Amino acid sequence: MNSENDRSSLTRFAWLSICTAVVTIGLKLVAYRLTDSVGLLSDAIESFVNLVGGIMALAMLTIAARPADEDHPYGHSKAEYFSSGVEGSLILLAAVSIGYTAVGRLLVPKPLEQIGMGVVVSVVASLVNLVVALQLLRVGRRHNSITLEANAQHLLTDVWTSVGVLLGVGAVVLTGWQRLDPLVALAVAANIIWTGVRILRRSTAGLMDCSLSAEDRDAVQRVLQTHQEAGVNFHKLQTRQAGARKFISVHVLVPSGWTVDRGHQLAGHIASDVRQALPGASVITHLEPLDAPNSAVAPLAERKSSEG
């Protein structure tokens, strides 16, 4: 399967996320109607955000899977950052809504009803979210999809939200203190804010052409070291991440007496080995004579790669 088809196949996981959101919204609204718990209502509100996030993920994954064209020679993979950015924003909006509802209930407490059945329904919804979230996280990491990872992290946050809400409902049952329910909802809102900010920061970093991870840069450095021989050196190593795609460029310094063909073969081997270390990476090499005025560099092991 080629990389384009591979990316296209990810849309089915967005559909899985959408279906999961619809199911959990129904279950959590039932739990809220049974108990009249503002904590369970906050849980249901977050699932509406999951639904919108899943729809956005489907749209952006579809765009990201499009092949490069004349107007987009480097492909469309950055579309995934828009999806995660929107989802992060929606998470923050949900946190504000939850906080507003919780403050109202904190000021005017109300007793909970039919707690047992409501808890059972909420637990079922949480288990559905957990199973799907772990699946999306595994696939997202394997395919380096920030969209699926953000969606999975949001679902996992939803799971922890449900756990917190259920603990709050249980505390109300044990203590009889009705304000514990909205207090737990406020704690849930704070946790959701943290998740939203984290997703937004990662999306912003991707849109700003952040360099590859330290692990990936080390992998590139190891490849270059294997090709170092007498009279061969490297400089101006630059990397960037664009969605699932990785871009590397490096200047290859060779002795002035080398033929163009020999230098070209070396550059080709380097690019091939980098792509083997980082599958799907786009690698650009630039040949320079070692004794050129602007080619003076420190040995590879003594310098840090230049990023930006």
Question: What's the CATH code of the domain at 193?
Answer: 1.20.1510.10
184 lies in the same domain as 222? no
275 lies in the same domain as 241? yes
User: What local confidence, expressed as pLDDT, does residue 4 receive?
Assistant: 47
Asked if the structure places residue 116 within a domain, the reply is yes
C-alpha 69/C-alpha 58 separation (Å) is 21
35 lies in the same domain as 54? yes
Asked if the structure places residue 34 within a domain, the reply is yes
**Positions of the chain with pLDDT under 70:** 1-8, 38-39, 42-43, 46, 110-116, 118, 230, 243-244, 292-308
62 lies in the same domain as 101? yes
Asked if the structure places residue 76 within a domain, the reply is yes
180 lies in the same domain as 291? no
68 lies in the same domain as 191? yes
42 lies in the same domain as 151? yes
Asked if the structure places residue 308 within a domain, the reply is no
CA-to-CA separations, 181 to 97, 245, 300, in angstroms, rounded: 16, 45, 59
C-alpha 245/C-alpha 114 separation (Å) is 51
User: What local confidence, expressed as pLDDT, does residue 5 receive?
Assistant: 47
Asked if the structure places residue 45 within a domain, the reply is yes
User: What local confidence, expressed as pLDDT, does residue 292 receive?
Assistant: 65
Whole-model pTM: value is: 0.59
User: What local confidence, expressed as pLDDT, does residue 90 receive?
Assistant: 76
197 lies in the same domain as 296? no
- 191, 207, 223 - which closes a domain: 207
224 lies in the same domain as 202? no
Asked if the structure places residue 173 within a domain, the reply is yes
C-alpha 127/C-alpha 143 separation (Å) is 25
Structural domain of 49: 3-207
Nearest-Å Rg of the Cα atoms of the chain is 25
Express each pLDDT in 265-292 by its tens digit.
999 999 999 999 988 788 989 888 877 6
Task: Report the domain count for the chain.
Answer: 2
167 lies in the same domain as 81? yes
User: What local confidence, expressed as pLDDT, does residue 302 receive?
Assistant: 36
Contacts of 293 (CB under 8 A, 6+ apart): none
User: What local confidence, expressed as pLDDT, does residue 296 receive?
Assistant: 53
User: What local confidence, expressed as pLDDT, does residue 236 receive?
Assistant: 87
C-alpha 265/C-alpha 56 separation (Å) is 44
User: What local confidence, expressed as pLDDT, does residue 25 receive?
Assistant: 86
Asked if the structure places residue 193 within a domain, the reply is yes
CATH number of the domain that residue 297 is part of? 3.30.70.1350
Express each pLDDT in 154-178 by its tens digit.
788 778 777 777 777 777 777 777 7
Which residues of the chain form beta strands (DSSP E)?
A: 233-242, 245-254, 282-289
Q: Which of 180, 33, 175 is nearest to 117 (CA)?
A: 33
User: What local confidence, expressed as pLDDT, does residue 271 receive?
Assistant: 92
140 lies in the same domain as 243? no
152 lies in the same domain as 33? yes
User: What local confidence, expressed as pLDDT, does residue 131 receive?
Assistant: 92
